[in-house]
Structures are given as C-alpha cells and as structure tokens.
C-alpha cells in the first residue's frame, strides 16, 4: 500500500514539471494571412495589325454553262431509208460537210421520169410554135380566119406552160436528190445523234444536234442591284467543278429581270476547254477593277451569333470584342470593310477561346513555343 502511494506521488511530480517547462518555453507566432492572388491571364496570344493591300474588286456569281447557239439538223426527205451515217457525238464538223446519206434509188427514178416528161414537153412546144408561126404568116393572105390563127397562138402558149411545168418537176426531183445528203449548216461539234442506219425518217425528223462553232457561254445569275456594275467586255473568271479556271468576257446583259428571283442573266463568252462542257454548273467572279482595302488573317476573325468579330488588345492587356463587316477572301486573308481602325492591335489566333474583357498575355516573336505536357515521354529504363 505504501509502495503504490509513492508511485502516484512520483507521477504527479513528473506532470507538474512538464507543465512548468511548457509554460516557460518560447511563444510561437501566428501564421501570416495569405496575400491577395493576382489575376491570371486567360490565354497567351500573338497580336497583329491590319495590313493595307490593293485588291481586285470582284463580284461573285453562279450559273450554268450552255452552248452559244445549238443547231438542229433534220431530214428534208420523206419516206426514204437512211443508208449511211458518217459522224458521231463529239465529232467536229465543218460547214457543208456530209453527215448522213439516204437511199436515193427512188428519187433517181422519179428524176429520170421527170426529165423524159420535160423532153416531151419541149417537142410539143416546138411543134406548137411552128404551127403558130405558119398561121401568123397566112394572116395577110386571108387563107385562115382570125379564130384559127388565135387557136394556134394559144396552143403555143399552152405548150410553153406545159414545158415550164415539166421543168419545175425536174427541179423538184433534183432538189429531192440533193436532200438525200444531210450536210452541216455551219462549223461546230456534234452534241447529239438520233440518226440510225436503216431507219425510215419523215420530213422534219431531227437527226443531229450541233454546237455552232463549238462556242460555249456562261449564263451567270446576278442580282438586279449589281447589274449597273457590269458592262459588255467585263472580264470574268469561271471555275468549273473540276477546279479548272478560264477567263471569259461579258457579251451581253439580259434585257429583263426574273420577277420571282429578282436576278438577271449575264452572258459570258468562254474559250474552249476540255473540262468545261454545256450543261455544267459553274461559279465565277466578275473582275471590276482594283481598290485599297484593310485585310487581316483569316484566323483572327471569330464568327458568333452569325456575325464576324475581332478581338482588340487594349493597353491593360484585356481584349475587347469588335463587330466588323467582312469582304472578299484572298490567300488566307479577309478584307475588313467596316468596324476596324488601321492602327488597332488584334488577336491573330485563338480568339475562339476568348470572351469580351478577358485578360491575355501577349507573346513576343522571340518567345519559344511551349510544348504541351502531353507530348513529353517518360525515359525508358535500360534493361
């Protein structure tokens, strides 16, 4: 019992000594309050200034490629068999070239018969004229009455008319014989062929269709408000679906405007090109001269809510979104027609990630580009 009391007193003494040591030790200072954090830039960007350039003033348009004039070549013979076809689609032809031939046996027989009738009519005319001359010579002698003399003169006139009719019949058969050969009315390129060997074609049946002189034209649709800007002779660059470009000239402006679309057709003569064919859809631009313009990189333009914007970098490092009007695009740059001052510094790239009033850090040209952390690879251990 006495032993346990001594242990308890010793423990109390140790606790008292420890409390005294803690009470007499040096006091700890309170931790300082954290300082206010500075605003961090939302993005590191590079800036650029608008550039003044001389651009070609262009008027874009769309339209179809069509033949300048298309000729329909038909049959002028009736009930004849087509014996020979000499051309096909795509063949160039010259004026007067033989395209097809009909069987001419029946026409030649009719022509021979008409010639024989003509010979008979000539013989009858010669006899009637001789009788009329003899009757006229006997007029002074009184051997023949005036009625008989008049009858001989009328017979001569009738024979003259019959010979003229026979001559006309011969000319008709000759014309039919000429129509058995189908010839090109002008130089051009065959664009369609309906002629078939052995077919019996009626008069007026279309056998071929031809692009006259191989000329094509671009029929561009232009708004009525833009028509005063165009004149005959204005240059136009037409781009086909394959990407091929040709330069043409405005030939004529349509005298009327479509009431439904308020567009008018502008006819542009095109040179021959293997990638441009009639019936194709093509886009193009009319060259209306040159003008001075402010341009910025295409990457600087941000489209929001259907409008184009640029981000102007202020002196305090914050960006301000400016709405602008854009024009034509040339070689990765876009024309700014309204809303931009020439001395403005704008964000060149990355504006899609910014909002109006964001703080940005402007990178210098000599600053090396930072490699994203995802591109670093851990070193491979050597086995």
pLDDT digits (tens, 9 = 90+) for 44-96: 888 899 999 888 888 999 999 999 999 999 998 888 999 999 999 999 999 99
Instruction: Estimate to the nearest angstrom the gap between the alpha carbon of 279 and the chain centroid.
Output: 10
List, in order of start, the domains of the chain with CATH numbers: 45-55+291-362 (2.40.420.20), 59-68+214-290 (2.40.30.170), 72-102+184-213 (2.40.50.100), 104-179 (1.10.287.470)
How is residue 68 written in tokens? Answer: 């300048």
Q: How far apart are CA 197 and CA 314, in angstroms?
A: 82
How is residue 220 written in tokens? Answer: 């561009």
Residue 197: exposed, middle, or buried by beta-carbon count in 10 A (0-12, 13-18, 19+)?
A: exposed
Mean pLDDT within 302-315: 91
pLDDT(363) > 90: no
Q: Output the pLDDT for position 19.
A: 47
Q: How far apart are CA 216 and CA 278, in angstroms?
A: 7
* Model confidence, pTM: 0.60
Q: How far apart are CA 272 and CA 92, in angstroms?
A: 13
pLDDT digits (tens, 9 = 90+) for 120-166: 999 999 999 998 888 888 777 777 788 888 888 899 999 999 999 99
- Residue 20: pLDDT band with limits 50, 70, 90: very low
Q: Cα torsion at 207, 212, 218, 220 (round to 10°)?
A: -70
Q: Output the pLDDT for position 38.
A: 65
DSSP letter at 34 equals P
Host H or E run for residue 335: strand 333-338
Least confident range of 126-130, 142-146, 251-255, 324-328? 142-146
Q: Is 261 left (phi over 0), alpha (psi -120 to 50) or beta?
A: alpha
């Amino acid at each position: 019992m006495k032993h346990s009391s001594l242990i308890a007193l010793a423990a109390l003494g140790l606790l008292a000594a420890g409390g005294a040591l803690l009470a007499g030790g040096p006091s700890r200072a309170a931790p300082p309050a954290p300082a206010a954090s500075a605003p961090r830039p939302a993005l590191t960007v590079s800036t650029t200034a608008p550039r003044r350039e001389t651009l070609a003033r262009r008027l874009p348009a769309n339209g179809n490629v069509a033949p300048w004039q298309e000729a329909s070549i038909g049959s002028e013979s009736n009930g004849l068999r087509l014996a020979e076809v000499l051309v096909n689609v795509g063949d160039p032809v010259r004026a007067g070239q033989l395209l097809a031939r009909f069987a001419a046996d029946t026409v030649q027989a009719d022509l021979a018969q008409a010639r024989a009738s003509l010979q008979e009519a000539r013989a009858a005319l010669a006899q009637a004229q001789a009788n009329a001359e003899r009757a006229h010579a006997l007029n002074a002698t009184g051997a023949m009455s005036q009625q008989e003399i008049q009858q001989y003169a009328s017979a001569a006139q009738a024979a003259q008319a019959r010979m003229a009719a026979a001559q006309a019949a011969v000319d008709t058969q000759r014309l039919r014989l000429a129509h058995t050969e189908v010839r090109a009315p002008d130089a051009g390129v065959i664009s369609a062929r309906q002629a078939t060997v052995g077919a019996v074609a009626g008069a007026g049946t279309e056998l071929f269709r031809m692009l006259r002189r191989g000329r094509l034209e671009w029929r561009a649709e232009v708004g009525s408000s833009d028509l005063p800007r165009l004149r005959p002779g204005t240059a136009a660059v037409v781009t086909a679906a394959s990407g091929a470009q040709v330069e043409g000239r405005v030939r004529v402006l349509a005298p009327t405007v479509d009431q439904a679309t308020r567009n008018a057709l502008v006819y542009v003569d095109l040179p021959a090109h293997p990638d441009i064919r009639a019936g194709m859809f093509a886009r193009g631009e009319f060259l209306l001269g040159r003008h001075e313009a402010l341009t910025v990189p295409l990457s600087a333009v941000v489209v929001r809510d259907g409008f184009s914007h640029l981000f102007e970098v202020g002196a305090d490092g914050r960006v301000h979104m400016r709405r602008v009007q854009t024009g034509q695009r040339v070689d990765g740059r876009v024309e700014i027609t309204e809303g931009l001052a020439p001395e403005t510094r704008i964000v060149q790239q990355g504006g899609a990630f910014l909002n109006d009033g964001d703080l940005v850090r402007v990178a210098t040209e000599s600053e090396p580009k930072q490699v994203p952390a995802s591109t670093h690879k851990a070193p491979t251990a050597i086995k």
